Amino acid sequence: MPNDLLQKIKGLNFPLGEYALFGSAPMFIRGLREEMHDVDLVVTEKLWKKMQTVPGWKMEAASSGDPVLRCEELEMFCGWAPGEWDVNELIKTADMIDGLPFVTLESVLKWKKAYGREKDLADVKKIEKYLSEK
């Protein structure tokens, strides 16, 4: 696995079916991103509540204003913005790659289109090209 952050996620031993990697991680693992500086995790309400009591994880506000649990370069979300996302569905449909669940590229594409930042629009082109060649 090409990134220390991904090894860190594996070391947490979170139960499968309780989380998935979102944000840039699904692009990174498929070679559509060269670097990844943090990892965004979407988690079930059960794991979210459990992690609030674990030392080292701090509750903060994300740039979207939503609550986020942070521990160094790891960011955990019980919801996902912008828009309405069914976190449990994102987790259930995640692609298993190298032993970790990654939100599907189709969902990443939908999210990046909704977010619409300049960097997201560049990623949209990369993802669409990748999916069309699959």
17-76 pLDDT per residue, tens:
999 999 999 999 999 998 888 999 999 999 999 999 999 999 998 877 789 999 999 999
Residue 128 resides in a domain: no
Residue 15 resides in a domain: yes
Q: For residue 101, list its beta bridge partners.
A: 96
CA dihedral 58, 1, 91, 96 (to 10 degrees): -170
Q: What is the largest CA-CA distance in the chain?
A: 44
65-118 pLDDT per residue, tens:
789 999 999 999 998 877 778 999 999 999 999 999 999 999 999 999 998 888
Structure tokens at 37: 């500086």
Domain count within the chain: 1
CATH of the domain at 34: 3.30.460.40
Residue 118 resides in a domain: no
Residue 125 resides in a domain: no
Residue 44 resides in a domain: yes
Residue 127 resides in a domain: no
Sign of the CA dihedral running 67, 70, 76, 80:
positive
Q: Tell me the residue range of the domain where 21 lies.
A: 4-104
Residue 47 resides in a domain: yes
